[in-house]
Structure 1
Amino acid sequence: MTAAVTVTAKVVVVDIEGTTSATSFVVDTLYPYSRARLRAWIDSHQRHPDTRRALAQVRELIGEPAVDTARIVTALGAWLDADEKVTPLKTLQGLIWDAGFTAGELTSHLYPEVAGALRSWQAGGQRLYVFSSGSVAAQRAWFAHSLAGDLRGLFSGYFDTETAGPKRQPSSYAAITAATGVPAGRTVFLSDLVDELDAARAAGWSTVGVRRPGEPNHDRGVGDHPAVGDFAQISILPPP
């Protein structure tokens, strides 16, 4: 059972999968879309700086500095099979998804109440940010091409595992605090995963667990963090 939660915060940081949007859309639509295009993307974007950096990171992670494209695609596919949040995989997926969104082949999922809640919080003076394991490029594309239209204007910034760090480490949330310039005690994080909520709280943030029926993490719960079933149950007040 969840109930309404009231939080005082200047900065609101949201996760995506299982929080603003259905995990099933990522797993059933976006993952296969990127998998089918990894080889072609790498072959045709060898000079793209983000692609080049991602390929170098793959070679470093697998310990094979001279490996060819076929071996890189195999490594990426293995990480994708295991749903590993590996930075070069997320970078390449983000680039591929961005192209797909721009081409009109993809439209991102949002739960029905999310856009209204985000607009309400931003209108109330809160600054909104995203922290997701998906790359910053993927996050921007996601909110640019959502079911509710282009929502990028609502956000003050985006963070991923490359710009902030792993989502289960308090140091990543401390890095975001430093980047926003807003004290940790005036920042709230919304996520469906208890490990991430624990890390955010350890960094001094307020937290709200989002438990949506049907999501993979719903039955696991959110520990002792305040819990809601959707964004409509969250009231965010400005600091005094």
Structure 2
Amino acid sequence: MNRPLLAPGAADALLFDLGRVVLDIDFSKALACWAGHAGCEPAHLAGRFSRDEIYRRHETGEIDDAEFFAALRTSLGIGLSDAQFLEGWNAIFAGEMPGIEPLLARAAGRLPLYAFSNTNGAHVEYFSEAYAGVLGHFREMFLSSTIGLRKPDAAAYAHVVKAIGVPAQRIVFFDDLAENIEAARAQGLTAVHVTSPDDVAVALAALGI
């Protein structure tokens, strides 16, 4: 794919994924928490956890937390309570990505910022409160469990572009997953693959922000 063309005045809106772009994620913390409650080794659970159809349906709001945790109880083979599953599920949030907050604060003074994330109701409830400060820079957040669509599906990008209300090519999208970047570019967005906060800083500088 072509590299994004970033230049001063090239964007009317900035769109950010949350996980590993704005918020740091460490899934091993969930496995460690669950294993602690279950009295087993985290490695025992790691091979059993799958981002399967149930996982995807949870992210699009088709099933609730209780149904998702019931499925985990079966797939992981551990008899945890919903509260114990929730504790581990929310333990994955490891803080803000280093240096991202001042970058967002500066960018928000120049352009409208939006978030676009695959997530679920339990996580939304948690991070909306725990990270209210940094998330306050976003004019609107498009969350898969709310809009019923998830990346990298084309319909998800079309929904977000329409809601933002500017041409796709005038939206610069930041995401850490290559498949989401490729899908965004296929829908006409300018996309930046984020491997560290430095990638965000470099892109913003190129945009004159």
Q: Same fold (TM over 0.5)?
A: yes
- 1:75 counterpart (71, 83, 92): 71
Q: How does 1:24-43 map to 2 (within 5 A)?
A: 25=26, 27-29=27-29
Aligned residues: 172
Hey, what does 1:42 align to over in structure 2? none
Q: CA deviation at 1:132?
A: 1.3
| Distance verdict in 2 for CA 1:209–1:33, change over 3 Å | same
SS of residue matched to 1:174:
helix
Measure, in 1, the Cα distance between the counterparts of 2:115 and 2:202. Answer: 19
- Under a length normalisation based on structure 2, what TM-score does the superposition of the two structures give? 0.63
| Distance verdict in 2 for CA 1:201–1:113, change over 3 Å | same
| Distance verdict in 2 for CA 1:36–1:139, change over 3 Å | farther
**Are the aligned partners of 2:149 and 2:155 in contact in 1 as well (CA < 8 Å)?**
yes
Q: How does 1:40-119 map to 2 (within 5 A)?
A: 57-58=62-63, 73-77=69-73, 96=86, 108-119=94-105
Measure, in 1, the Cα distance between the counterparts of 2:13 and 2:125. Answer: 18
| Distance verdict in 2 for CA 1:174–1:72, change over 3 Å | closer
Given the alignment of the two structures, is residue 201 of structure 1 paired with residue 185 of structure 2, yes or no?
A: yes
- 1:176 counterpart (128, 149, 160): 160
Code of the aligned partner of 1:233 = V
Hey, what does 2:19 align to over in structure 1? 17
**Are the aligned partners of 1:136 and 1:158 in contact in 2 as well (CA < 8 Å)?**
no
**Are the aligned partners of 2:28 and 2:92 in contact in 1 as well (CA < 8 Å)?**
no
| Distance verdict in 2 for CA 1:235–1:6, change over 3 Å | farther
Given the alignment of the two structures, is residue 134 of structure 1 paired with residue 103 of structure 2, yes or no?
A: no
Measure, in 1, the Cα distance between the counterparts of 2:150 and 2:164. Answer: 18
| Distance verdict in 2 for CA 1:155–1:134, change over 3 Å | same
Given the alignment of the two structures, is residue 157 of structure 1 paired with residue 140 of structure 2, yes or no?
A: yes
Hey, what does 2:44 align to over in structure 1? none
Measure, in 1, the Cα distance between the counterparts of 2:144 and 2:187. Answer: 16
Root-mean-square deviation (Å): 4.1
**Are the aligned partners of 1:186 and 1:206 in contact in 2 as well (CA < 8 Å)?**
yes
Q: CA deviation at 1:114?
A: 0.3
| Distance verdict in 2 for CA 1:121–1:144, change over 3 Å | farther
Q: Which moved more, 1:191-200 or 1:228-237?
A: 228-237
Q: CA deviation at 1:170?
A: 1.9
Q: Unaligned stretches of 5+ in structure 1?
A: 38-53, 60-68, 82-91, 213-227
Hey, what does 1:48 align to over in structure 2? none
| Distance verdict in 2 for CA 1:77–1:161, change over 3 Å | farther
Q: Percent identity?
A: 22
